[in-house]
Structure 1
Amino acid sequence: MAMAIQALTFLQEYFYESGHKIRKNDNALRIGVLSTAMINPAAILRPADSHGDVIISAIASRDLKQAQKAAKSYGIPQAFGSYEELLREPGIDAVYISLPNGMHAAWAAKALDAGKHVLLEKPFTANADEAKSLVALAKSKNLVLVEAFHWQWHPASHTVKALLASGKYGNILSTYARMTTPVGTMPKANIRWKYDLAGGSLMDMTYVVSSTRYFLDAGAPKEVVWAKARPAKEDSRVDEAMEAVLKFEVGSTGRVVESKVYTDMARENVAWVVPRIWELPSIEIETEKATIYYYNFMMPHLYHYIAITDKATGHTSYTKAYQGGPLWGTRGESWWSTYRWQLEAFVDKVRGKEPVHWVTLESSIAQMETLDAVYEKSGLGKRPGHQ
């Protein structure tokens, strides 16, 4: 139900973020937006309303009228009919890029070459080769570049990570991350189905790999044991669904943990008629002493729970975290979306402060190496880039 919870986030931010518009500081970070994608209001426009150090100063589209329409709707001062025009604007400090997957690398590189910091939507690039090239460029320019895995900045995610790190439940034995969308809810014209734009369920629902690696504190897997794709009927190069089992080396001793991931952009209904609306993105983590289940890790600001089942007693306890947590402390508000927490960290990083959490460039390379490896094992081959 990924699409549904995204829509709910639009509503949540409309009522909360926009309801807390605050005066902007004189030296606020000026951000430009490349594309007029549907995700923009949730991912950057609304979160910026409640951040005094952020001004959305421009938006660009290949269609000037589209850019002007978005600018008028959200009170953005400038609209451009090309991405190049926005990147040439000297008053813009950073850009948020929400273009199709296959275009991420090319336009992030152009933004970096133009001297802009970059908040780049997931997946980072179309493949690991592009990721490595982009990372090298960012480092050479000494500019901030980060993959927008917004959920990793939420207090609930930090709470789960702290539970695992505490040692109370022993070592992690296995994990299983799942993300699905009911059949028929994602139009076939959607860019997620386009091979030339690096589409596919694993690319779009890359959160299952991100969550697995985050909680294991791991890089790329030691091995992809097996991977099975269900190709789309319209284009067999695109995975409608993907299942895989991976082995990761974790900890200082290199223990091996087996992890399963499952993505599905056309999940079959129960008895052909009932959409699986309860299947929100979730991860189950089995440890030596307990099983920890993090429900709706992708959008925990809307609703989530962390269930801890003790193996010895069978007792299950529940906890939630909408504010504070082990990293943020007293900073932030309970109504902040994952994107708002992400924006807080992004501004800190650009300002030269140490953010409470960060998705490193090395992690983004490892993420793309993992996706490449799964696609190769499945027989579909890694995704192509696009200019």
Structure 2
Amino acid sequence: MAMVLQLTTFLQQWLYSRPDVKALKKEDDAVNLGIIGGSATINAAAIIHPAETHPGAKIVAVASRDISDAQKAAKQFHIPKAYGSYEELLADPEVEAVYISVPNGLHGEWAIKSLQAGKHVLLEKPFTSNGLEARRVFEEAERCGKIVVEAFHWQFHPAAHVVKSLIASGKFGDIKRTFARMTTPKGTIPGSDIRWQWSLGGGALMDETYALHATRYFVGGDNETLLGSGIKPTVVSATSKPWSKDKRVDSASWADLRFDLEGGKTVDSKIYVDMNAPNLALVIPRAWEFPSIEIECERATIYFFNHMMPHLYHYISIYDKVTKHTTYQKHYNYGPKWKNVGDPHWSTYRYQLEAFVDKVRGREPKHWITPEDSIAQMETIDAIYLRNGLGVRPVTGELDGASAE
């Protein structure tokens, strides 16, 4: 019965994450958004559905390198304008901000071009190909006086803030260790997928970067702490399972990290990511392995199940080492940051768009992914790749002359 109830709850939250509640009327100063990326790369749940329910945002254009592909997306999602090149969209004066949905290796190039065209940028994760390119993007944003933010949508959700507040309260003592994982069942990602292409920033550590991001955030990567959002660990050890068709691409990666905190305190962290996780007993796909993180403190162990998509279904378990009891929590709205803003049907992406629109319109967002955070994330990924011997992902496009140190 418990499993039936859980599955029912999962389905209910999935349904409510869809655009069931449409914004009846757009605000006069709604942010006009353009999407850079063809129909094959557009994730409707990430930007189109959230914009449909946000009175302060509307999608006015989509661009692909193939006009017929752009027209297909425009027709499917009721977008007024379709362009056959990214440059045409960037030249449209009606477009104020862009959502960039292109392969990882092209993120930096098109973020910079968008900023130079006078657009604000909401950029899919991972932010860029490497840390050096991340710094270059933020330098350009500052020069152009525009906003660019990494779309780590999960961190905008109230459930993430609740876990953060539980740790920050000090009730359970200092963090001692963490373990974060994210896996994709074997055979789910076809060999032709761009996520396997080294030149386009492919690999498990890049695609399933949520495990590292959650680790950094909960250990201390928050602008509201003295550690700041730019916290970076030392890579103690790192190994990988290279993809059979290109040994430069990690099919799976493991890393042992050490965070050196104030007062001589340390936190030992492990991450495991796998884009081709082996089946149980060779035949059963591990579909139950949702992205999750375990945080062991001195007096309790906190487990956040499905931290990547908590709006679909999640739970936060707290095992009290003193009482030996485990309690459970779920949080689909409100929380310590959003207060009375939000609804149970809001997805992580909808909360993210709320913050992005606030920032573009000069209002203080309830939560934000800082430049320091995105740079530290990419530099840590670089360090893991250097340690496991696969090397830093290359810069593509017009930035080919740059190299990561």
User: TM class, shorter-chain normalised?
Assistant: over 0.9
Q: 1:158 aligns to what SS in structure 2?
A: helix
Residues in 1 aligned to 2:251 and 2:345: alpha-carbon distance in whole angstroms: 34
1:232 aligned residue: 243
Distance 1:108-1:188 versus aligned 2 partners, 3 A rule: same
Runs of 4+ in structure 1 off by over 4 angstroms are none
Residue identity opposite 1:336 in structure 2: W
1:221-265 deviation digits (Å, cap 9, x = unpaired): 342010001000010000000000011123x43522111000000
Residue 279 (structure 2) pairs with residue 277 (structure 1)? no
| 1:142 to partner: Cα distance | 1.6
Residue 209 (structure 2) pairs with residue 206 (structure 1)? yes
Q: 1:118 aligns to what SS in structure 2?
A: strand
Distance 1:78-1:303 versus aligned 2 partners, 3 A rule: same
2:389 aligned residue: 379
Q: 1:228 aligns to what SS in structure 2?
A: strand
The answer on whether the counterparts of 2:41 and 2:102 sit within 8 Å (CA) in structure 1 is no
Residues in 2 aligned to 1:163 and 1:15: alpha-carbon distance in whole angstroms: 26
Q: 1:125 aligns to what SS in structure 2?
A: coil
* Structure 1 residue ranges without an equivalent (≥5): 1-7
1:4 aligned residue: none
Residues in 2 aligned to 1:294 and 1:80: alpha-carbon distance in whole angstroms: 42
The answer on whether the counterparts of 2:233 and 2:380 sit within 8 Å (CA) in structure 1 is no
Residues in 2 aligned to 1:357 and 1:230: alpha-carbon distance in whole angstroms: 35
The answer on whether the counterparts of 1:18 and 1:49 sit within 8 Å (CA) in structure 2 is no
The answer on whether the counterparts of 1:34 and 1:96 sit within 8 Å (CA) in structure 2 is yes
Q: Equivalent residues in 2 for 1:115-264 (5 A)? A: 115-218=118-221, 219-250=230-261, 252-264=262-274
Residue identity opposite 1:166 in structure 2: S
1:25-70 deviation digits (Å, cap 9, x = unpaired): 1221000000024442011001100000101000000010000000
| 1:92 to partner: Cα distance | 0.5
Distance 1:383-1:65 versus aligned 2 partners, 3 A rule: same
Residue identity opposite 2:289 in structure 1: E
1:256-281 deviation digits (Å, cap 9, x = unpaired): 21110000000001111111111000
| 1:13 to partner: Cα distance | 6.5
Match of 1:43 among 39, 42, 46: 46
Distance 1:71-1:14 versus aligned 2 partners, 3 A rule: farther
1:301 aligned residue: 311
Residues in 2 aligned to 1:350 and 1:126: alpha-carbon distance in whole angstroms: 25
2:93 aligned residue: 90
Distance 1:80-1:16 versus aligned 2 partners, 3 A rule: same
1:71 aligned residue: 74
1:358 aligned residue: 368
Residues in 2 aligned to 1:171 and 1:348: alpha-carbon distance in whole angstroms: 34
The answer on whether the counterparts of 1:22 and 1:49 sit within 8 Å (CA) in structure 2 is no
The answer on whether the counterparts of 2:257 and 2:268 sit within 8 Å (CA) in structure 1 is yes
2:403 aligned residue: none
1:5 aligned residue: none
1:123-151 deviation digits (Å, cap 9, x = unpaired): 00000010111111111112111000000
1:56 aligned residue: 59
Residues in 2 aligned to 1:334 and 1:315: alpha-carbon distance in whole angstroms: 28
Residue 268 (structure 2) pairs with residue 268 (structure 1)? no
Residue identity opposite 1:34 in structure 2: I
The answer on whether the counterparts of 1:327 and 1:356 sit within 8 Å (CA) in structure 2 is yes
1:321-347 deviation digits (Å, cap 9, x = unpaired): 001011111111111010000000000
| 1:175 to partner: Cα distance | 0.6
The answer on whether the counterparts of 2:304 and 2:316 sit within 8 Å (CA) in structure 1 is yes
Residue identity opposite 1:17 in structure 2: P
Paired-residue identity, %: 55
Moved more, 312-321 or 371-380: 312-321
Q: How many residues align?
A: 378
Residues in 2 aligned to 1:156 and 1:53: alpha-carbon distance in whole angstroms: 24
Residue 329 (structure 2) pairs with residue 327 (structure 1)? no
Residues in 2 aligned to 1:269 and 1:103: alpha-carbon distance in whole angstroms: 32
Match of 1:23 among 19, 25, 28: 25
Distance 1:13-1:87 versus aligned 2 partners, 3 A rule: farther
The answer on whether the counterparts of 2:17 and 2:312 sit within 8 Å (CA) in structure 1 is no
Residues in 1 aligned to 2:37 and 2:160: alpha-carbon distance in whole angstroms: 29
Residues in 1 aligned to 2:16 and 2:174: alpha-carbon distance in whole angstroms: 41
Residues in 2 aligned to 1:90 and 1:247: alpha-carbon distance in whole angstroms: 47
| 1:17 to partner: Cα distance | 1.6
Residue identity opposite 1:31 in structure 2: L
* Structure 2 residue ranges without an equivalent (≥5): 1-9, 222-229, 398-405
Q: 2:211 aligns to what SS in structure 1?
A: helix
Q: 1:40 aligns to what SS in structure 2?
A: coil
Residue 103 (structure 2) pairs with residue 100 (structure 1)? yes
The answer on whether the counterparts of 2:34 and 2:60 sit within 8 Å (CA) in structure 1 is yes
The answer on whether the counterparts of 2:16 and 2:346 sit within 8 Å (CA) in structure 1 is no
Residue identity opposite 1:341 in structure 2: Y
